[in-house]
A and B are shown apart, each in its own frame.
Chain A
């Protein structure tokens, strides 16, 4: 199956700093990638949809100036958490879409990045 990687797998940073997370599709081109956040013992929450070469589409309640998304190539999307605070500590997961007929396209997920903000 399609492989998606994320880097780093874990990051610890100080409050007020910015952190960049990379998401790469390794063996396919992904015009659309997605970013999710997952708090402990909770389900995944879709943060934004990232389309190559255009601005990301953010879900309601997600601050676009806080979570900067760039999808500059067909194999790379980045999420930058700006001025991180402890409440931003979470498990961040990306996915890449493998298109199919409407309703049938599947997503392949990265292994996740655990962010801890001190």
Chain B
């Protein structure tokens, strides 16, 4: 399973953009990059995923390096509700046919009012 590396924690001021980095130097050509986040005392929540091109949705943007060995999740304007642990994951395809998610330690984002 390809491994990801993220900073343990980051801080951001409210209403400012946040760039959450993720390194995945052992990524294979077919691995998608997924981001999930977990708010306190809740189950994780899907944020975004991509393969090669940058991706945007209503929650965030995902910028993928040209060599795909790193990516950055961008929250364009952090709010207090964005305070969470953000996980960068490369789903593992198993014989079950479904992609399994193996969560690392993630990045704990603190948003300062």
Binding site for B on A (CB under 8 A): 1, 4, 6, 32, 34, 36, 43-46, 49, 51, 57, 93-95, 97, 99, 102-112
Contact = CB atoms under 8 A, between A and B. Distances in A.
Contact of A110 (B38, B41, B43): B43
Interface of B: 30-32, 34, 36, 38, 41-46, 49, 51, 87, 91, 93-94, 96-106
By CB atoms of chain B within 10 A, which of A6, A44, A102, A109 has the most? A44
Given A109-B43, A110-B43, A103 B104 contact: no
A114 to B, nearest CB: 8
Contacts of A34: 100-101
A112 B43 contact: yes
B28 to A, nearest CB: 10
Query: How would you classify the secondary structure of chain B's contact residues: helix, strand, loop or mixed?
Result: loop
Given A46-B100, A102-B99, 14 more contacts: A6-B43, A43-B87, A44-B103, A49-B98, A49-B100, A97-B99, A102-B30, A103-B32, A105-B91, A105-B99, A108-B46, A109-B43, A109-B44, A111-B42
Chain A interface, >50% SS class? strand
B32 A107 contact: no
Contact of B98 (A1, A32, A36, A108): A32
Given A43-B103, A109-B44, A103 B96 contact: no
A104 B34 CA distance: 8
B76 to A, nearest CB: 20
A49 B93 CA distance: 12
A30 to B, nearest CB: 10
Contacts of A1: 46
A108 B43 CA distance: 9
Contact of A107 (B46, B93, B105, B106): B46
Nearest to A114: B41
Contacts of A46: 100-103
Contacts of A6: 43
Contacts of A110: 43
Contacts of A32: 96-98
Contacts of B38: 44
A94 B106 CA distance: 19
